[in-house]
């Protein structure tokens, strides 16, 4: 159901920005593109399941605890959370380059749209691109901070060094 609603909302936005194509063709292209994104998400979730050694429900539970900042107490949960945090931090290692590429690509698309389409499509796409880039940058920073805080909370506690008795 969420997939269908996402496709319909995305198709509506595309039809507002770029009027002229038939609604059926826009919905079909959006559905195919969204299906590709869904496959990527399924692959990511399966890698996280494999890393944590649990089921989808376990990954969802760990993700909820991560968002809330709730550090697990049980050793097996701590190890699963540690694996999830490391997996996600590893996945974000190229985020700066990806954000720069996304910004350049979005700017290029806005410029090309301005050269080939009307001002309505150009302005709409520029506003959408800026809002999307701001959102993805801000949300990414929040996620990275959460991951680093959880990594620190899960770090093994060092025992005090034994003192030499003379």
pLDDT digits (tens, 9 = 90+) for 66-94: 999 999 988 899 999 999 999 999 999 99
Q: How far, in Å, CA of 77 to CA of 61, rounded? A: 10
What is d(CA 112, CA 17) in angstroms, rounded to the nearest whole number? 14
Angstrom distances, CA of residue 4 to CA of 9, 45, 80, 147: 9, 20, 33, 31
pLDDT bin (cut points 50, 70, 90) of residue 143 is: very high
For residues 121-139, one letter each, b for 16 or more C-beta atoms within 10 angstroms of the residue's C-beta and e for the rest, the string is bbebbbeebeeeeeeeeee
pTM reported for the whole predicted model: 0.73
Q: Evaluate if residue 157 carries a pLDDT over 80.
A: no
Give the CB-side neighbour count of residue 8, counting CA atoms within 13 A: 5
Q: Mean pLDDT throughout 141-155?
A: 94
Phi (first) and psi of residue 73, to 5 degrees: -100, -40
pLDDT single digits (tens) 1-26? 888 999 999 999 989 888 888 999 99
User: Beta partners for 166?
Assistant: none
Average pLDDT estimate for 115-143: 92
pLDDT at position 162 over 80: no
Distances (CA, A) of 32 to 20, 38, 81, 134, 138: 20, 10, 34, 26, 28
pLDDT of the residue at 1: 82
pLDDT for the residue numbered 114: 92
Evaluate if residue 164 carries a pLDDT over 80. no
The chain-wide mean pLDDT, for the chain, equals: 90
């Amino acid at each position: 159901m969420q997939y269908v609603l996402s496709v319909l909302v995305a198709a509506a936005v595309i039809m507002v920005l770029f009027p002229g194509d038939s609604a059926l063709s826009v919905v079909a292209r959006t559905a195919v593109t969204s299906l590709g994104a869904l496959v990527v998400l399924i692959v990511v979730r399966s890698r996280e399941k494999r890393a944590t050694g649990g089921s989808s429900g376990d990954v969802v539970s760990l993700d909820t605890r991560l968002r809330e900042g709730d550090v697990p107490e049980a050793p097996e949960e701590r190890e699963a959370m540690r694996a999830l945090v490391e997996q996600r931090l590893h996945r974000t290692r190229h985020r700066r380059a990806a954000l720069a590429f996304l910004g350049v690509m979005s700017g290029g698309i806005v410029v090309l749209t301005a050269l080939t389409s009307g001002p309505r499509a150009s302005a709409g796409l520029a506003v959408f691109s800026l809002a999307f880039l701001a959102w993805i940058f801000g949300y990414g920073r929040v996620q990275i901070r959460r991951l680093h805080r959880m990594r620190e909370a899960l770090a093994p506690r060092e025992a005090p060094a034994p003192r030499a008795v003379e």
